[in-house]
Structure 1
Amino acid sequence: MGLRLLAMVFLSAMFAGVKMADARGVHLIESLFYRQALALPLVFAWVAWSDGAGAVRTSRIGIHASRAALGMVGMILNFGSFILLPLTEATSIGFTMPIFGTILSALILREATGWYRWGAVLLGFAGVLVMVRPDVGHVPLTGLAVALSAAILTACISLVLRELGRTERPGVVVFWFTALSVPPLGMAMLFVGQAHDPVTWGLLLFIGIVGGLAQLCMTGALRWAPVSVVLPMDYSSIIWATLIGWLVWDDWPLATTWAGAALIVTSGLTIAWREHVRARRVRP
């Protein structure tokens, strides 16, 4: 639980770094490339230390490649949502991922979904409506669309991760996602890469290292505790996003943002609780 809480601090700092880098003229692809390229050595070192360097061998490179392709698009949307929206709003809307995960599990995997989880889905969507206040245009519609698209795609990725998780350890999944995403991002850098001042280079270094540390902490949390225990810790990121947004950009959420975020968090925690209950019934 401590590792997952620490990961949320690092993630919030990374997204703030991405937002600041964008303001300094850094292209989105540049932020993605340095995030992945600088994190790769950290991830490999973690896998080598915990499972041995040979653990990265896999016979499922095809599904790893599919996960990497989805993951790159998901990262583009996630980074874009934090560029277009205040940190608190982008973080809160990102919490709708379990809602879309529940819908996709019911529609695609044909999982039994009781009224608890469907009620949580409706509660989450109500939270989004309260937060964005569509009647007054409080949240830019483009940013909202990007953030919701990111949550939907992340939910799709979670289904792929379920399949990979049957045979692959979490660290190996993270390694192949990072390793397979660097070459295409590197090719894209030929068209968008540019020189920067020392402060901007420092920001890019910060994004890569802090993002890598966040990934390691998240992976370590899954190594020592089940998903149902560590997942609720993710909601602590709203605290750090709010503090950073206030200190750096003087953004303080409106009352409707807090109310909507509370509904979304309640929805996500309800879904996580029902998943835990279902897993306990299946385990015997």
Structure 2
Amino acid sequence: MDATPKKPTAEPVEDLPPSSNRFIKFFADRTSQLPPNTIGALWILLAAFLFSIMVTLIKFLGQDLSVFQILVVRQALMLLIVAPKVLPGLPGSLATKRPGLQLTRIVFATSAMLLGFTAIIEMPLADATAISFSKTFFITIFAIWFLGEQVGKHRWGATIVGFLGVLLMLRPSGEGLVDPFALMALGSAACAGMVMIVIRILTRTDPPNTILTYQAMGVGLIMIIPAWMTWQAPTLEQWALLAAVGFFSWAGQMANIKAFQAGEATAIASLDYTRLLYATLFGALIFSQWPGVETLIGASVVIAASIYTVRREAIRGRQLARASDGRGYSN
């Protein structure tokens, strides 16, 4: 068996919107002479930073605006950004061989973002971010159920250890109660894991443009009615912050795609966990919130188990069920 890990397929640079090309060229010109894995590492570090800014802005906006309103504006802005790529393909870009799976992906992606954004708003940033890392272990379980993947004792062991770390982060009280927002963060991770499995199945029959179009339009449409019912007229400052959420969401996804285009997934994936450092820093400086000792210990267990899983699968020459644009509630 060829032990060389395969990189997930990603969209070529020339297929991205013109604005994407300018953003990519700015960074790529400054890294073009570096080794591929170093370039990938720099891109994924940038992606982690951009996504951390995004969730910080969401938490700040969530103090006054509903999560539905934030979501619908975010999706509308991201749809505008990718419009040069999506619109020319209509209606052909909506032709799918798996409409049921497209709908399933939209439902799970919406759930992941709705639960994840709510957890971000209501919990310390570091806590919500740390729990989101459990997505890796949900992917393992769902891959067994829906893809028929064979998982050995090492990966099962890492999955069990990782869930123990998650339970430590949930830290139930003496009465056996768990913070409901922590459960939302966990639910978001589970939904994000399911999104990754659905994407893996969809890519067998549908082109990336079709998957992108359904997700971009579907999530926004689902959010329109609840956003309208909870709408509050944003101030000029809030509109600026909402626009920034859309920009950093898009920029983070573009940086993430470039990371997996340039470097091997097994060499760079673990750097995504720097989001916990950013979340801790932003949470402390902006919201005066520090993660608890249980969160830090549990996150360390989850990260260690995740890295072990990725490295183990690399040695076996297998590719985990993940996609270069899959970022939990950041999808």
Q: Which residue of 1 aligns with 2:287?
A: 249
Give the secondary-structure state (helix, strand or coil) at the position aligned to 1:57. helix
Kindly state the Cα deviation for residue 31 of structure 1 after the two structures are TM-superposed.
Answer: 0.6
8 Å contact from structure 1 (residues 171, 219) kept in 2: no
Tell me how far apart the structure 2 counterparts of residues 179 and 222 of structure 1 sit (CA, whole Å).
Answer: 25
* Counterpart mapping for 1:68-87 below 5 A: 68-87=106-125
Kindly state the Cα deviation for residue 5 of structure 1 after the two structures are TM-superposed.
Answer: 1.8
1:236 and 2:278 are equivalent in the alignment: no
* Paired AA for residue 51 in structure 2: L
Q: Which residue of 2 aligns with 1:183?
A: 221
8 Å contact from structure 1 (residues 6, 214) kept in 2: yes
TM-score by length of 2: 0.75
8 Å contact from structure 1 (residues 124, 264) kept in 2: yes
Q: Note closer, same or farther for the CA distance 1:270–1:155 as it changes in structure 2 (3 Å cut).
A: same
1:140-175: per-residue Cα shift (whole Å, max 9, x none)?
Answer: 610111011111111111110111233455565334
* Paired AA for residue 290 in structure 2: W
Pairwise CA RMSD: 2.7
Between the aligned residues of both structures, percent identity stands at 28
Tell me how far apart the structure 2 counterparts of residues 9 and 89 of structure 1 sit (CA, whole Å).
Answer: 17
Higher helix share: 1
* Paired AA for residue 259 in structure 1: I
Kindly state the Cα deviation for residue 190 of structure 1 after the two structures are TM-superposed.
Answer: 2.7
Q: Which residue of 1 aligns with 2:256?
A: 218
Give the secondary-structure state (helix, strand or coil) at the position aligned to 2:308. helix
**Stretch of structure 1 that moved more, 112-121 or 56-65:** 56-65
TM-score by length of 1: 0.86
Tell me how far apart the structure 1 counterparts of residues 227 and 212 of structure 2 sit (CA, whole Å).
Answer: 22
Q: Which residue of 2 aligns with 1:143?
A: 181
8 Å contact from structure 1 (residues 44, 175) kept in 2: no
Q: Which residue of 1 aligns with 2:32?
A: none
Kindly tell me the number of residue pairs found equivalent between the two proteins: 276
Tell me how far apart the structure 2 counterparts of residues 181 and 226 of structure 1 sit (CA, whole Å).
Answer: 30
* Counterpart mapping for 1:22-61 below 5 A: 22-23=62-63, 25-45=64-84, 47=85, 54=89, 57=93, 59-60=95-96
8 Å contact from structure 1 (residues 85, 143) kept in 2: yes
* Paired AA for residue 81 in structure 2: L
1:24-61: per-residue Cα shift (whole Å, max 9, x none)?
Answer: x201100101111111122344x47xxx9549825326
Structure 1 gaps of 5+ residues are none
Q: List structure 1 segments (4+ residues) > 4 angstroms apart after TM superposition.
A: 52-56, 167-172
1:211-235: per-residue Cα shift (whole Å, max 9, x none)?
Answer: 1211222233333445434432221
Tell me how far apart the structure 2 counterparts of residues 231 and 176 of structure 1 sit (CA, whole Å).
Answer: 27
Kindly state the Cα deviation for residue 196 of structure 1 after the two structures are TM-superposed.
Answer: 2.0
* Counterpart mapping for 1:1-284 below 5 A: 1=40, 2-23=42-63, 25-45=64-84, 47=85, 54=89, 57=93, 59-60=95-96, 62=99, 63-135=101-173, 141-168=179-206, 170=208, 173-280=211-318
Tell me how far apart the structure 2 counterparts of residues 73 and 129 of structure 1 sit (CA, whole Å).
Answer: 21
* Paired AA for residue 243 in structure 2: L
